[in-house]
């Protein structure tokens, strides 16, 4: 099992904002509840908590290609002139937490995230958030490119369809070679020094999922390592 050291790990929560906390994400209420439990344990263990916020300037400057806008060219989503960019109330940041604003899917793209992690001497990331197949996937891949070890908490992630969520988790499992995949209760157990289980890849492209067997393969991610 990959070792998590309380001195070099951080909880990275991706885009858990009012905009993303809608009925568009199946099971969002449960995601929020489980995320709150993970945050609570991380605070108990003095693990740094970092939030990313996806933002689009209200004046429309710097938008991504074909970003949806209204008739006046103002962004429809994550508009900085609205409260849609705020962290969900149930998961609200506290003094000492770090908020990193970003203008593209990846939390690392032209942001201060890498600087914050290096300043804290972080090596291991505990990751959750939305959307699994967009900002979570992009951020995890960029973190892997920078040699951070990833601990993905799959049931505090979500996206617009269950299939897209499962596919994104399986892609990360296949290609992030040092990833560990947890459920929320199991990462909490690990942080508290209690018995836990997690899934870890033993070879590249191990999962070999297809449209027909995706759910069956995804269910294998519940555990293959027990401590």
Over residues 191-204, mean pLDDT: 94
- Residue 4 banded pLDDT, cuts 50, 70, 90: low
Place of tokens 């070792």: 3
Per residue in 45-94, pLDDT tens?
999 999 999 999 999 999 999 999 999 999 999 999 999 999 999 999 99
Q: What is the mean pLDDT of the chain?
A: 93
Per residue in 102-136, pLDDT tens?
999 999 999 999 999 999 999 999 999 999 999 99
Over residues 19-26, mean pLDDT: 74
Tokens of residue 173, six digits: 């499992």
List all residues 6 or more positions away from 4 whose beta carbon is below 8 Å from its beta carbon. 124, 126, 151, 190, 191
Instruction: Compute the distance between CA of residue 157 and CA of residue 126 in angstroms, rounded to an integer.
Output: 12
The model's pTM: 0.94
Whether the predicted pLDDT of 227 surpasses 80? no
Measure the N-to-C terminal CA separation of the chain; round to a whole number of Å.
8
CB burial of 48-80 (b: ≥16 within 10 Å; e: otherwise) equals: bbbbbbbbbeeeeeebeeeeeeeeeebbeebbe
Predicted local confidence at residue 224, as pLDDT: 72
Rounded to 5 degrees, what are φ and ψ at 196?
-155, 170
For residue 226, what are the β-bridge partners? 197
Predicted local confidence at residue 6, as pLDDT: 55
**Among the residues of 7-136, which ranges form H helices?**
28-44, 113-119
Predicted local confidence at residue 21, as pLDDT: 57
Predicted local confidence at residue 222, as pLDDT: 83
Tokens of residue 74, six digits: 């103002």
As a whole-number percent, the residues of the chain with pLDDT over 90 amount to 91
List all residues 6 or more positions away from 187 whose beta carbon is below 8 Å from its beta carbon. 38, 126, 151, 153, 196, 198
For residue 155, what are the β-bridge partners? none
């Amino acid at each position: 099992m990959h070792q998590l050291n309380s001195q070099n790990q951080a909880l990275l929560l991706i885009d858990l904002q009012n905009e993303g906390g809608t009925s568009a994400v199946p099971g969002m209420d449960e995601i929020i509840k489980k995320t709150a439990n993970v945050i609570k344990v991380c605070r108990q263990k003095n693990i740094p908590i970092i939030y990313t916020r996806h933002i689009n300037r209200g004046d429309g400057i710097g938008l991504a290609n074909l970003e949806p806008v209204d008739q006046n060219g103002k962004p429809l989503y994550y508009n900085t002139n609205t409260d849609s960019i705020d962290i969900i109330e149930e998961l609200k940041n506290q003094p000492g937490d770090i908020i990193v604003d970003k203008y593209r899917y990846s939390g690392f793209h032209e942001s201060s995230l890498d600087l914050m992690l290096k300043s804290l001497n972080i090596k291991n990331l505990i990751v959750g958030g939305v959307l699994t197949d967009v900002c979570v996937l992009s951020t995890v891949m960029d973190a892997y490119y920078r040699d951070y070890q990833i601990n993905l908490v799959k049931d505090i992630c979500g996206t617009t369809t269950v299939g897209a969520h499962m596919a994104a988790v399986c892609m990360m499992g296949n290609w992030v070679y040092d990833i560990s995949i947890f459920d929320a209760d199991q990462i909490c157990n690990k942080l508290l020094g209690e018995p836990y289980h997690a899934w870890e890849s033993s070879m590249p492209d191990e999962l070999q999922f297809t449209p027909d067997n995706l759910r069956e393969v995804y269910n294998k991610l519940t555990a293959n390592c027990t401590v």
